[in-house]
Amino acid sequence: MKLLQGDVACAEGALAAGCNFYAGYPITPATEIMVRIARRMPESGGIFIQMEDEIASIMACIGASWAGAKAMTATSGPGFSLMQEGIGYAVMTETPLVIVDVQRSGPSTGQATMPMQGDVMQAKYGSHGDYSLIALVPSSAQEMYLFTARAFALAERLRTPVILLADEALGHMWETVQLTDVEVEDRKISREVWPSKTFLDENVAPMPIFGNGARALITGSTHDEYGIRKVNDPGHHKKAVSILKEKIERKREEIVTFKEFHTKDADSVVISYGSPFRSALEAVRELRNEGKKIGCIKLETIWPFPFSEIKVNRFSKVWVAEMNTGMVSGMVDGEVIESISEVHSSKLIKEAVNEG
Amino acid sequence: MKARDLRRYLRVQRNDFCPGCGCGQVLANFLRAIDERDINPDSLVLVSGIGCSGWIPNPNIMADAIHTPHGRAIAVATGIKLFNPALKVVVFTGDGDLAAIGGNHFIHACRRDLDMTIVCVNNSLFAMTGGQVAPTSKEGLVTPSTPYGNRERPFDLCELAKGAGAGMVARTSTGHPRKMIDFLKNSLMYEGFSFVEVLSQCPTHSKRDPYDELRDLMRVEDFCHSLR
């Protein structure tokens, strides 16, 4: 047990999962992740570099990943916007990579030291084109540690960028964390010399690594299974996009997790995620003490969004407590309990529920 | 010297360059350079960006080759080289890719002096999109995006690289094939950040008379400066 800041727990989770490359750029409220990694990385022989901007940071991670690294970068909203170019490229080239977004308020520079959950949609739809990826949402410093490690396992297993969508309150919160052993997933490496099929397999193609003599061919242009550009055939593009999406969607069962509290007898529910979940659960417990049959669902995976898994239709009334004007609530047809830039108090959630 | 068959370095036996494009010359001369230096292609990682120059290594050369987003080749190359310093990392870029959208990555890479080679094919235009003005275009140049003439001054890429701290800078042109091969060979052996600018022609989008353009390229004063 250690008393750690959420950002520091995230850095420790990455190292526990075998992260051996980190490129980043300072930004509040994610800087502490970089600072911790900068000091700790050389102890395990890994590489740390502070790049010239967030675009360079994610690109360096992509390069390192193709050289065989378990790579991570961390940022906040303004930097996350810049990284969208790299996220799209990582999706298209099937590059394993972990991106931590410690959300702060926006748009633009916003309030750098205030939390918000305004990047829920950007995490999935921020880059151009049509794609699927994975985004995990922690709600405690302990989960900053565990979910970061899980992000690495999923990234390696599915050859995809994975986003850890944290928020300022979690990043800067100090909490006891158990630095437990975590699942470490190693990459399925292709050792065949080109021409070898290293892309576009719904069951995840093995990945060549630079310097292995595989003569890998990689491009962000639409390509075939061998990495050869195919840019004049719309039918092929359609096929490529569907395979990239299907690669994630068919593993939903492995990816999607959420937790239910007091839902067995509940006829209404408060859905929440990230730091507001903590207040939501407290509010639900107080409401139950007052005799209300209400439950709480904590989302842990926000992309792919667990529409089919959480089955909101079993409740007659759904509230979503989130730090934005209604991103998840819009998706589940629930009523938003919004609190922009401030973690909800359980009082605010209770009042909203009691007002019906 | 006996001519050697360079086709064994090729992944595909055709390319997509326009007839007369300088990129084909840079491709051929790069293969001559690695052949004359006896560099094992399996030790190379070839990184390229967006633009005509991005197609020089990808898919043409049979080595690890990654074609990255516009302007980002050097940033990707930085990650590759840092994680596996045993690899010989070569970036192929154009003047738009390097000096416009990728300018920030370029100056910082010069400053870091990582051991990698940058080959910039400078045709002083955005050729792939139809010949628009670039940060390397001469003042007064008429292009589709400067219909009344370019009002801005061009970058001198070698001076920029030197000023930002590059260890080796060289300039030549497609009109000097032997010099190009020699400079590429030097840069591949140079331990540190090396920058080779190859002034090139665009027969498709340059509005100039091809003979005038060639005469100008022949007049380029080539040089190769190294700090070590």
Mean pLDDT (chain A, rounded): 97
Cα A100 to Cα A98: distance, rounded to the nearest angstrom: 7
Q: Which domain holds residue B211?
A: 18-222
In this predicted model, what pLDDT tens digit does every residue of A302-333 receive, in sequence order? 999 999 999 999 999 999 999 999 999 999 99
Q: pLDDT tens across B43-53, in order?
A: 999 999 999 99
CA A309 – CA A181 distance, rounded (Å): 28
CATH 3.40.50.920-classified regions of chain A: 259-354
Instruction: List, in order, residues 6 or more apart from B32 with CB less than 8 Å away.
Output: B6, B181
Closest chain A residue to B111 measured between Cα atoms?
Answer: A52
Helix ranges, A67-165 (H): 77-93, 120-125, 141-158
The 10 Å CB-count burial string (b at 16+, else e) for A118-145 is bbbebbbebbeeebbbbbbbbbbbbbbb
Q: Is residue B1 scored above 70 in pLDDT? A: no
* B-chain residues near A227 (CB < 8 A): 59
Which of A44, A87, A190, A210 is most worth mutating to test chain B (most B CB atoms within 10 A of its CB)?
Answer: A210
CA-based nearest distance B218→chain A, Å: 34
Place of tokens 């959300």: A103
Examine the pLDDT at A111 and tell me if it is beyond 60.
yes
| B80/A64 CB distance under 8 A | yes
Q: Which residues of B touch A229 (CB under 8 A)?
A: 58-59, 67
Give residue A51's pLDDT. Answer: 98
Position B210 scores a pLDDT of 80
ipTM for the predicted complex comes to 0.97
- Please list the residue range(s) of chain A that carry CATH number 3.40.50.970: 2-177
Predicted confidence (pLDDT) per residue in A64-85, tens digit: 999 999 999 999 999 999 999 9
Q: Cβ of A56 and B104 within 8 Å?
A: yes
Nearest to A213 among B42, B75, B83 (CB): B42
Tens of pLDDT, residue by residue over B67-108, are 999 999 999 999 999 999 999 999 999 999 999 999 999 999
Taking only the tens place, the pLDDT of each residue in A126-160 is 999 999 999 999 999 999 999 999 999 999 999 99
The CATH number given to whatever domain includes residue B33 is 3.40.50.970
CB-based contact A60:A23 (threshold 8 Å):
yes
In this predicted model, what pLDDT tens digit does every residue of A164-205 receive, in sequence order? Answer: 999 999 999 999 999 999 999 999 999 999 999 999 999 999
Given a cut of 60, is residue B130 above it in pLDDT?
yes
**Total domains, chain B:** 1
CATH class of segment(s) A259-354? alpha beta
For domain A2-177, the question of CATH label 3.40.50.970 is answered with yes
Of A33, A44, A166, nearest in space to A57 by CA: A33
Which residues contact residue B72 at a Cβ distance below 8 angstroms, ignoring those fewer than 6 apart?
Answer: A55, A56, A59, A85, A86, A89, B49, B102, B105
A63 → closest Cβ in B65, B80, B86 = B80
Facing residues of B93 across strands? Answer: B120
* Chain A interface test: which of B60, B64, B111 (most A C-beta within 10 Å): B64
Q: Which of B75, B80, B86 sits opposite A51 (nearest CB)?
A: B75
Per-residue model confidence (pLDDT) at position B2:
61
pTM exceeds 0.90: yes
In a domain, B3, yes or no: no
* CA–CA min distance B75, chain A (Å): 5
Share of chain A above pLDDT 90, in %: 98
